[in-house]
Chains A and B, each alone.
Chain A
Amino acid sequence: MCLAVPAQIIEISGSRARVSLAGNVREADLSLLEQATVGDWVLVHAGFALEKLSPEDAEETLNLMMQLQGDGGEEP
């Protein structure tokens, strides 16, 4: 019940926003936040932004997420 990812707000329209994670863009609802601006990083769960993240904190989460990337084959 805790699957949430950082995403950056790229557009706001009323209480809805378009948010981007690694180039994937989806709508998120901002009603649970006091305030948000384009460019802010937010934590998104089931289509809702739950909290704002500092860019450094968002980057840390993204780095951890992408840590599981394959960057090369094992030695043959």
Chain B
Amino acid sequence: MVDERIVLAHGGGGALTRELVEGIIVPTLGGVPEALPDAAPIPGADELAFTTDSFVVKPLFFRGGDIGSLSVHGTVNDLAVSGAEPLALSMSLILEEGLDIALLRRVLESAAEAAQAAGVRIITGDTKVVAHGEADQLFITTAGVGRRRIQISPRGLREGDRVLINGPIADHGIAVMSERQGIQFETQVRSDSASVWPFVRALIDGGIEIHGMRDPTRGGLAACCAELANDSGVTIQLEESALPIRPEVRGACEMLGLDPLNVANEGKVVAFVPASHAAKALDILKAIAGGERAAIIGRVTARRSVAACLKTRFGGERVVEMPYGEDLPRIC
């Protein structure tokens, strides 16, 4: 069955997204579809990093965040994990006719607050309105500029590197899914939407050698590891017993039949550092507010037949696959 139409999974951050981006979008726009970074150096001014992002999350407001704060955090994080200090954002709005202006104001206030807390300014933007039914309430597109602090190769992972994360996984995806029609449930789980720059800056300032970094958003930790491992030609081996997951999140995943590795995060950074730096890097992460549950969750090995795998608590191993792109509740 050949894909002739866009399906929802194309936006899921998994295998289908990758195929669309590398197979059609990047080559058609004249780029090289390999090892695509989250933020790119600007030609002729490569001390600056540039990124762009769009936000279509529904519902607009969820526990722990909203589309406004999310749009700031997501953009800032793309810059941060590329080793760049976020400086400024643009924010473009596509508004559906009939949108409540009070709601728009709430979104913008949240974005402003998030920008201030993240130490960035929103310096330019655009506003468009489309007819009722042509956009689902509100979409936000951003672009971000940062000043490169360190150089990170998109193919920088090395055998022996340790994998670190700054906190528990799958909070954001569960928080948002809990409000989804047909699936909704009450929960205390809050999105982890936040800037990861404090963590990245602390690692850089602490002299940690960073071979790779990414924020595991859509597609979760699984997509992040599968992609990075493929880009660097290595294998990433995660330790199941080391993965930090809140019990409420584990419970929600079990209830719906979701794999926490495939669920989105919006305040997490995964960093790959040499073994000799790992202990110090972990201490640095733990000392940052919100990093109390930072952990070393795996290591990089020479390339095997799979890009990423998980050592289970039973001493077995399973493949960590690039998710298809749409994680759905199952009965089976």
Decide if the interface of chain A is mainly helix, strand, loop or mixed: loop
Contact A3-B257, Cβ < 8 Å, known A24-B186, A76-B162, A76-B296: yes
Given contacts A24-B178, A68-B241, 18 further A-B contacts (CB under 8 A): A1-B332, A2-B332, A3-B257, A3-B330, A5-B254, A5-B255, A7-B255, A22-B251, A23-B189, A24-B252, A25-B187, A46-B331, A66-B247, A68-B313, A70-B243, A73-B297, A74-B241, A74-B299
> Number of A residues whose C-beta is below 8 Å from B?
25
Answer whether residue B295 sits at the interface, using C-beta atoms and an 8 A cutoff. Answer: yes
Q: B residues near A, CB below 8 A?
A: 162, 164, 168, 178, 185-189, 239-245, 247-248, 250-252, 254-255, 257, 275, 278-279, 282, 294-299, 313, 330-332
Question: Are A26's CB and B255's CB within 8 A?
Answer: yes
The answer to whether A23 touches B188 (Cβ under 8 A) is yes
Given A70-B295, A76-B279, A24:B242 Cβ within 8 A: no
The answer, yes or no, to whether A65 is at the interface (CB within 8 Å) is yes
Q: Which chain A residue has the least Cβ–Cβ distance from B330?
A: A3
Chain A interface residues toward B at CB < 8 A: 1-3, 5, 7, 21-26, 44-46, 65-74, 76
Neighbouring A residues of B247 by C-beta, 8 Å: 22-23, 66, 69
**List of B residues within 8 angstroms of A74 by Cβ:** 239, 241-242, 296-299
> How far is it, in angstroms, between the C-alpha of A72 and the C-alpha of B243 when the chains are bound?
8
